[in-house]
Structure 1
Amino acid sequence: MIETVASTGSTNGDLSARLKAGERIAEGQWLVADRQSAGRGRQGREWFDGLGNFMGSTAVHVQPGDPFTPTLALVAGLAVYQAVLPHCPDPVPLRLKWPNDLMFSGAKLAGILLEREGDSVIVGIGVNLAAAPQVPGRETLALAKFGPAPDRDLFAQALAGYFAEELQRWRTYGTEPLINRWESAAHPAGTALTVNEQTEGIISGVFDGLLPDGSLRLRLADGTSRAIHAGDVMLA
């Protein structure tokens, strides 16, 4: 079920408040807003709320035996990738970037924000369908660059379907096939990256795949590898 609202502060915030109040949000239920006044990205960044873009959230209720919860970011990434793919003139430049971005030729097209609320994880997704923000120092892109912007409601239905499929695969088959599929949709191994790691600052290296827990493996110049569990990742 997809519930739409004309305006709200944040769809993630709304679902969080509902869960705190004891409301049961069924898996597969989405809250989608035409506009957001307090949308957030990772690390508290403001999220652009261009009219005609997709801004929505859903909840996943963690069950006994579920895979490592942070790998839900990979589930969401693959769902967004598949929903966007039919709208791209060339699939090759469309790439996932760890941990939560979808890029086209190095420009950010979509972002994902996971937030924990009790035994649930709220998955917030923003996709630039009609317009992209101007962000100093970063390239951005909207699907409208390639032709008429995708219909937001039809896009929401497609994304919800792909997310449900990926969630079921995650629970059924675990993280190994998920990581393999995510890596096949990401920038290739050997891609130069810089990571602004929260405790050590800027670290440079090359992409060397993901570890079983979904963290980034960064290969350094001396040949050693570093596991990156959190941080801003930029294509060098």
Structure 2
Amino acid sequence: MNEADPARPATLPGATSWRLEIYDELGSTSDLCLERAQAGAAARLGVMARRQVRGRGSRGRDWQDPGGNLAFSVLLRPDGAGGWPAGLWPFIAGLAFYDALAPWISDPASLRLKWPNDLLLDGRKAAGILIESGGEADRWLVIGFGANLRAAPPIPGRDLACVAEYGPPPVPEIVAQGICDGLDRWMAVCGRGGFAPVRQAWLEHAHPPGTRLVVRGESGQVEGSFEGLDAQGLLLLRCADGTRRISAGEILLLDRGAMAPPAGDGTAAAT
């Protein structure tokens, strides 16, 4: 790749069914995938940036990229990849991401999935996913993956984690390749057995039942204990007045002292 030309892509070897591109610098990998989707690009495109300057996190936050971390997005066409409801994709993407990161963690039990789209190391956010979709006659899906591999940006009030704290950090290209392999694996699992085996695998890697959570939504917040997922992937939260099914919201772990509102999305919530 010509290092002087950050707009010129380099193709990552392997995974011949994926078209994988690496850029020295991009504003946002997801934005590039969105542009390609709207221009009619075929599915199974992956875009990685070694440096991302306008990354986007969940809930409209900025994603701060100190460099050396993962900024990676993929383009899929749901009608050609199962046609499953949108609610299944966070679990497929989450398992693919988990599989790509777990081999680099000295104690894999430290790595946990948090509903609906985060990965935690000992309860501290280290990685995340942002899913966007659109189109009418030709539906598209863009999934952004971000991970703190070498460093977690300093953000007041946030206790963030990075992979380098748990072992030698992988190069981002290897993690990107692992995500593509994992997406193939878990889409095939869902194609054969539906959501049930995906749900079971996700729960095996999630924070354990009984974990105390706060769910913040438009109508306020509710506190309870994690009780699992229902058959559609909704969060089951045991509260004082019974079990509630949560379809959306910001999830905070009470035992991490995460009651203060985030100052920004310094962890890799998305790209």
TM-score, normalisation: structure 1: 0.93
Greater relative contact order, per chain length (Cα 8 Å cut-off, separation 6+): 2
Say if 2:79 is the partner of 1:63.
Answer: yes
Residues of 1 paired with 2:209 and 2:191: CA distance?
A: 27
Question: How far 1:31 moved relative to its partner?
Answer: 0.3
Q: Structure 1 stretch 119-128 or stretch 141-150: which is displaced more?
A: 141-150
CA drift at 1:41: 1.1
Q: Secondary structure at the match of 1:89?
A: coil
Say if 2:208 is the partner of 1:188: yes
**Overall identity of the aligned pairs, in %:** 39
What is residue 104 of structure 1 aligned with on the other side?
121
Look up the SS of the partner of 1:3 in the other structure. strand
| Superposition deviation, residue 134 in structure 1 | 2.1
Per-residue Cα deviation, 1:83-120 (whole angstroms, up to 9, x for no partner):
11111111222110001000011111100000012111
d(CA) in 2 for partners of 1:149, 1:184: 24
Are 2:62 and 1:46 equivalent residues in the alignment?
A: yes
**1:178-224 deviations in Å (ceiling 9; x for gaps):** 111101100111110001012x21110010111222121111023x1
| Aligned twin of 1:93 | 110
Determine the structure 2 residue equivalent to 1:11: 29
CA contact (8 A) 2:104 2:168 kept: no
2:266 is matched with which residue? Answer: none
The CA distance in 2 between the partners of 1:148 and 1:117, in whole Å, is: 38
Distance 2:151 2:163 in 1: 8
Aligned 8 A contact 2:107 2:166 in 1: no
Secondary structure at the residue paired with 1:8?
A: coil
Deviations 1:39-77 (A, max 9, x none): 111111111223111111112211286322221011111
Would the aligned equivalents of 1:66 and 1:171 in 2 still touch at CA under 8 Å?
no
Contact 1:48 1:132 in 2 (8 A): no
CA shift for structure 1 position 8: 1.2
C-alpha distance in structure 1 between counterparts of 2:200 and 2:212, whole Å: 20
SS at structure 2 position matched to 1:70: helix
Residue segments in structure 1 that go unaligned for 5+ positions in a row = none
Q: Distance in 1 between matches of 2:237 and 2:157?
A: 23
Contact 1:55/1:127 (8 A) holds in 2: yes
Pick from 128, 133, 149 the counterpart of residue 129 of structure 1: 149
Distance in 1, Cα, partners of 2:177 & 2:155:
29
Aligned to 2:261: none
